[in-house]
Chain A
Amino acid sequence: MAKVIVVTSGKGGVGKTTTSASFATGLALRGKRTAVIDFDVGLRNLDLIMGCERRVVYDFVNVLNGEARLKQALIKDKNCDNLFILPASQTRDKEALTQEGVERILNELKETFDYIVCDSPAGIEKGALMALYFADEAIIVTNPEISSVRDSDRILGILSAKSHRAVNDAEPIKEHLVITRFSPTRAEMGEMLSVVDVTELLSIPLLGVIPESETVLSSSNAGIPVINDKDSSGGQAYVDVVSRFLGEEVPMRFLDVEKKGLLKRIFG
C-alpha cells in the first residue's frame, strides 16, 4: 500500500525542501518507487534543489486543472530511476489546490508509487493544509531555535485536528521529528537548544538529526540533493534518516562535538 508522507514545519527556511529532496532521493536509492510533490504553489523551489528546473514543462496545477496528464508533468530524476518530481506552478493560482483535485492526483500516484512525499510550503495557509491533509505519516522539520519549535508544535496541533485522518477519526498520522541545522558545539556551550530539549518539548519520536553542514548549501547550489554526498555529515545523516524510516535501528550520529571537527575549526 502506497504511503503519503508530508514534510512540514510551519516556519519557513528550516529545511523542508532540502529534507524532502534528500528523503525522497534516499527512498528511491533504496529501491522504493518514489514521487515527490512541491505544494508551494507560486514559489516553486523543489525543482532547483533537485536540479530539474530546466525540464519543467507541466506542473501540479496544470494536472489539477486537467491541462496536462499526470505522466506528462512528472519529471524523472536524472540520477535515480525510481524517483519522479511533480513541480509546483509558478502562477499564484492557489485556488487550484482543491481537496478533491489533490485527492485525485494522490490516488493516481498511489497506483504506481510506493511513497509519495509532499513538500509543504511554510505557514498554515491552504497550500500547507492541502500538503498535510491526506498524509499517512509526517516529518516535522525543526531547527533548534525558539520560533521553529513553537511553529512545529502548532503544526502538530493541526495534524491532529484538521487532517483527513483526524476528521474521519482514523488512526492518527504517524509523526517523526527531524532536527536540522544542529550545531553540537553550540548546544554543548548552552547557546542552542539540545536535541533532548527539542524532542522533549515536541514529544514526538526523533527520526534524525542533520548537523549544520556546509555541503547542504553547496548541494543546493549544484542541484544535487545532499544525500548523494556520501562523504559529508549532512548526506550521511539523511541516509540514516531514511534507514530509520524504513524500520532499521541506526544509532544517532553527529550529536556530540567531534575532536576532528574541532581541530579542523581551529586550523582551518
Chain B
Amino acid sequence: MTISFYSFRTIQTMRIININALTMGTTGLCETFIPNSVYTQCIRWKRKPIWLPTAKSKVFRVPKKPVIPMEDYVELKRLYNNYRTYMTSFNAYIRQIAKENKTQVNETVVNELTEEDFKACNAINDEWNAKIAKIREIRLAEMREKRKNIILQSILKQEQKQEKRKIRINELVKKVKEESITFITAENVDAAIEECLTNIVNHNRALDVEGNWHEGKYPPIPLVEETQEPAAIEQQN
C-alpha cells in the first residue's frame, strides 16, 4: 500500500534518507525537492492517500454520473461477461490440474524419491566415513607411537635419576659410617664426659687486628638455682 502510493523517485529518496512512509508523512517530501531529478509527476497515484478525508475544496463537489450509450453498454457488458466467464473457467481448470498434480506427488512419487535420495546420500556418507576412518587409523597409530616413545623416555629419565640418587645416598651413608666412629654412644659416654670435663674449651674470647687474644671476663653471676650453678661457674672460668 505505502510503496505503491509513492512514486519511484520518492521511494528511492526515502531509501537513501532511510525513512519509511509512516515517519515521512504525506507532505514531508515534495518531488521537486528530490535531488538530481528532472521534474516528475506521478500520474497513476494521486497526491492524496486513501486514508485521508476528502479535501476541503472537494467536499461539495458532486461527480457527474457517466452517460454511456445503450449500444455501448450492451456491448461492453457482453464482453465483460464473456471475459469473466472465461477467466473463472480457466482458473478452475488450472486449480483442478494443480490439485491433481499435488495428490499424485503426495502419494507415491515423493516417497520413492526420498528413499532413493536417502540411499544415494547414505552411500556417499559411507564412502566418506571409510575415507576418514583410514586417515584416523594412521593418525591414531602415529599418536600411539609418539606416546610410547614419550613414556619410554620418561621411564629412562626416571631410572637415571634414581641411579644418581642411589649413588648420592650411598656416598652419604659411607661418609656417615666413616664419621660414626667418633659418635658418642652408650659405651663411651662416660669417657666422653670425662674428656669434656678435663678439656674445657672456652669460646668466650676474641681476636683483634694485631693478633692478640682477649679472654672474656664477666663478673660472677649470683646463684639462682643449684642445678645451674656448676655450668655458670664453668662458663665464667
Is the A/B pair a real complex? no
Chain B residues packing against A (C-beta within 8 Å): none
Chain A residues packing against B (C-beta within 8 Å): none
